[in-house]
Structure 1
Amino acid sequence: MNFSTDQIMKWIQHYESFGPLPGFLLPLLEAFLPFLPLFAFVLANVNAFGLWLGFLISWGGAVTGSFIVFLLVRRFGQQRILTFLKRNKQVSQMMDWIDRHGFATLFPLLCFPFTPSAIINVVAGLSHISAAQYLFAIMAGKTVMIFTISYVGHDVFSLIHQPGKTAVIIVVMALLWAAGKQLEKRLQK
């Protein structure tokens, strides 16, 4: 594959020509298929539509997708398909933790780019947290996470041409990942 600056610019222009709908739908779809690269979708959006519009498109899709997953699990989570999750000791403990602490637990988890938000959506759907409280937590947490990714990636070309900026970003992302892992370990205790 050719990853020259010209080729990347062509991909971004081609992506931009489809309008904001794919930019909204891809982060929404990532909530259902967590193996999809949300990071890449956000980068594509901010490079195609600019920092603010790209951020808003990505944020809207990610929040909508997460909330739909939450609502589907809430609606169908009591049925046989998901009852095995409720029997799992760790899932049960996390549900209890969310029930007791609500927003205070969810917000920091949703802020970190490397937190498995699909798991959080499912566990929150199985818990007793109110839909309004969860929506608020998703909106706030995804704002921090997606804006961080957007800000970091809004100028991909500077990352290519300025290795110092790239190194700083890699260090910040590694620190966010490490902080997320530490928070995850604390919550498991």
Structure 2
Amino acid sequence: MKLWIKIVSFALIAALLLVVWRSDLVTGMLSGDPEAGQEVSENSRYLFLGLMLLLMVIQNLFTVIPFILLITMNVSILGFAGGYLWSWATSILAGLVSFWAARYWLQDFFARWLKPSLRDRIEDNAFWVVFIGRVFPFVPTSVVNVAAGLSSVSMRPFLYATVLGNMIYIFVLALVPLGIMSVRFEPHMYVIMLLLAGASAAGWRVRRRRRKRKAAEERAASVADKASTIH
């Protein structure tokens, strides 16, 4: 497909998302008024879930919506567990949509502007670059998604880092609207906390194994170079 067709099609889809975002229904929800979201949920729970998914996609593409606002709306309507899980699931889906949008529509256009050194750094540390960007959002979510999509990072490390990073970050944000110190910890919240601890431990083990593997590969390459020099 020609580059101009990709750009035009991407612009049309982006415009459609923005039109939906500016609709009266969505504007009422984005005002932060729980009653607006409650009204939508009472009319149709599936409509509410679909709108929150769409808004999460917009947030991941353009970062024009505060992330915590979407999570707060989910928690206020669906409860802590339901709001947390739906926010987490939709953030993963939205991240993948943004990743593939950048790769399919924009990679050819922006590849020439991405410095080789920066691209190599992202590709060599794909998991940790995305994971840190999720847990410590020093840069907007959309920038993390687009930067990963523009590079040649494979989807697997991007997905793993997004799943684990958002699991931790969204859990913290989900506590904010409830008041962290006044939250009543029920059994399902302890299960979520155990999952977070397990995910963190798994991420640490993956990092440790990769470091060992990389060190072993470097030693093997060094030995091979020395052997070829001797011969």
Residue number in structure 2 paired with 1:56: 85
Retained in 2: the 8 A contact 1:28–1:65?
yes
Retained in 2: the 8 A contact 1:63–1:139?
yes
Residue number in structure 2 paired with 1:39: 68
Residue 13, structure 1, aligned to residue 42, structure 2:
no
Residue number in structure 1 paired with 2:141: 117
Residue number in structure 2 paired with 1:150: 174
Which of 50, 67, 82 is the matching residue for 2:110?
Answer: 82
Between the aligned partners of 2:161 and 2:64, the Cα distance in structure 1 is 22
Task: Report the alpha carbon displacement of residue 150 of structure 1 after superposing the two structures with TM.
Answer: 0.6
Residue number in structure 2 paired with 1:71: 100
TM-score (norm 1): 0.67
SS in 1 for 2:176: helix
Worse-superposed segment, 14-23 or 24-33: 14-23
Residue number in structure 2 paired with 1:102: 126
For the structure 1 residues 51 and 99, does the alpha-carbon distance in structure 2 shift closer, same or farther, using more than 3 Å as the test?
same
Q: How many residues align?
A: 147
1:7-60 C-alpha deviation (Å, 9 max, x unpaired): 955345224324222222221221122111221011011011101111111112
**Rg: which structure is higher?**
2
For the structure 1 residues 119 and 94, does the alpha-carbon distance in structure 2 shift closer, same or farther, using more than 3 Å as the test?
farther
Residue number in structure 2 paired with 1:176: none
1:113-155 C-alpha deviation (Å, 9 max, x unpaired): 5531111111111222211111111111111111111122235
* 1:172-183 equivalences in 2 (<5 Å): none
Between the aligned partners of 1:119 and 1:9, the Cα distance in structure 2 is 29
TM-score (norm 2): 0.56
For the structure 1 residues 99 and 51, does the alpha-carbon distance in structure 2 shift closer, same or farther, using more than 3 Å as the test?
same
Letter in 2 for 1:154: L
Retained in 2: the 8 A contact 1:30–1:62?
no
Structure 1 unaligned regions, length at least 5: 1-6, 160-189
1:144-188 C-alpha deviation (Å, 9 max, x unpaired): 1111111222359x79xxxxxxxxxxxxxxxxxxxxxxxxxxxxx
**Alignment root-mean-square deviation, CA:** 2.6
Residue number in structure 1 paired with 2:156: 132
| Percent of matched pairs sharing the same residue | 25
Letter in 2 for 1:16: S
Relative contact order (alpha carbons < 8 A, sep ≥ 6): 1 or 2 greater? Answer: 1
